[in-house]
Amino acid sequence: MRQFDYTAVPKGLLTQETMNLLAAVHECRGRQESDLSVGRDVLDALVEVARVQSAGASNRIEGIRTSDARLRGIMQERTDPRSRDEEEIAGYRDVLATIHEGHDYIEPTPGVILQLHRDMYRHTPLSGGGRFKDSDNEIVGIRADGSRYVRFRPVPAVATPDAVERLCAALREGLSRGGADPLLVSMEFVLDFTCVHPFGDGNGRMSRLLTLLLLYRCGYLVGKYVSVEKEIERTKGDYYDALAESSAGWAEGTNDPGPFVRYMLGVVLACYRDLGCRVGAVRSARLTKSERVEAALRSSVGKVTKADLLEACPGVSRTTVERALAALLARGAIEKAGGGRSTGYVWRG
C-alpha cells in the first residue's frame, strides 16, 4: 500500500535546480503585493482574461473544445451550453469561481474534493460527478507505431476512498508541521492525487483546479491574474513527460517527484514573470491605450492576433485595439497576415 508523507523533503527535491527554482518563485511572491497595486481596472481585466484562458486551456488539454466566442459567452454566463463539451466547460467555470472567491475557506478534504468534482459535472447528464471511480482505470500510452500500452495503473477502485483520505491527512500534516516548504508539499500532493486517479473521468482537470486552490492557500495568487492552465497547455509535452518520469515506481514508493515538482515550479515562475511584465508595462510608461497596443506590437515577434493584444494590454477594450490596428495599418506600420479567425498582424516599423 502506497504511503504518503510530506513532513520532510524527499531526496529527489534536494537538488540545486529545485532550490534555485523555489528561491526564484519566493522572490516573485515577495513582489506580489507591489505587482497587484496597479489600478483596479487593470486587475479586473487580468482576472477576466485569466478565467477564460484557464477554462479553455485546461479543457483543451483533455480534448474538450468550443469556439473562442462561445467560450467567452459561457464564461460570462451569457451563453447556455449546447454540447457535452460546453457543459463540461461551464462546470469548470463554476468550480474555478468557487476557488477564486473562497479559497481561504476551502481545505482539501475528501468531501471537498468530491463536492468540487460534482460541481464540475453539474451541467452534464452524467451520473459520475462527485463519486469516486467504481472500476479500475489505466493510464494508456501510445508508441511511435500507434500501438497502445498501459503506462501506469492507478490505485484500484476499492482502495481509492482510503487512499484519498490518507492523502488529504498527509497534506494537512505536511503543511501544519512546516518541515518542508508549503509549495513543495502542495506540488507533491498534486502529483500523488494524479497518480491515485480517483475518478472515472476529470482527474486531469481536478488536479489543475487543486493546484490553483493550494497555490492560493499558500499565498501564491498569480493564477488569478495569469492563467496557470494556459502555461501548462503551452508546455503540454513537458507536462506529460514530467508526469511520466515522476510516476515511475510510484506504487512501490520508489518514484522521484523531482521532475514533476520542478516542472510545476517552472510554470508558476513563468506566470509570475508574465504578470510582472504586464503590470510593468502599465506602470513604466505614461502611454495612451492606443500607444500601449502599438508598444505590444513593436515588442512582439511574428504574427500577433487581436486576442494576443487584449491579453498583453489589460484594461484596453476590443474597440480600442481595433481602432489602433486600423490606424497602424493606415500608416503602414503593420501588415495584416492571414484571414478570418486566424487573422494576425506583423510589425513592419
User: Would you list the domain boundaries of the chain?
Assistant: 11-281, 287-347
DSSP 242-259: HHHHHHTTTTTT----HH
The architecture that CATH gives domain 287-347 is: Orthogonal Bundle (1.10)
| Residues belonging to the active site | 197
Whole-number pLDDT of residue 284: 56
Residue spans of alpha helices (H) in the chain: 16-30, 32-35, 40-61, 68-75, 84-102, 110-120, 160-177, 182-196, 203-217, 228-234, 236-247, 258-284, 289-298, 306-312, 318-330
Could you report the per-residue pLDDT of 54-106, keeping only the tens digit for each?
999 999 999 999 998 899 999 999 999 999 999 999 999 999 999 999 999 99
Return the SS3 of 203: helix
The crossing angle, in degrees rounded to 10, of helices 203-217 and 84-102 is: 20
CATH of region 11-281, choose from 3.40.50.2000, 1.10.3290.10, 2.40.10.10, 3.40.50.720: 1.10.3290.10
pLDDT band at 282 (very low <50, low <70, confident <90, very high): low
Backbone phi, psi, residue 344, to 5°: -140, 180
- The answer to whether 207 is a known ligand-binding residue is yes
Return the SS3 of 148: strand
Whole-number pLDDT of residue 307: 86
- The answer to whether 205 is a known ligand-binding residue is yes
pTM across the whole model: 0.85
- The answer to whether 239 is a known ligand-binding residue is yes
Q: How many Cβ atoms are within 10 Å of 8's Cβ, its own excluded?
A: 12
User: At which residue does the C-alpha cell 469516486 appear?
Assistant: 132
CA 7, 13, 15, 20 dihedral sign is negative
Picking from 77, 50, 46, 81, the residue whose alpha carbon sits closest to that of residue 66 is 81
- The answer to whether 208 is a known ligand-binding residue is yes
Picking from 266, 221, 220, the residue whose alpha carbon sits closest to that of residue 46 is 221
Could you report the per-residue pLDDT of 322-348, keeping only the tens digit for each?
999 999 988 888 889 888 777 889 888
Could you report the per-residue pLDDT of 217-276, keeping only the tens digit for each?
999 999 999 999 999 999 999 999 999 999 999 999 999 999 999 999 999 999 999 898
- The answer to whether 206 is a known ligand-binding residue is yes
Whether residue 194 is predicted with pLDDT greater than 70 in this model: the reply is yes
Q: Are 54 and 215 contacting, i.e. CB atoms less than 8 angstroms apart? A: no
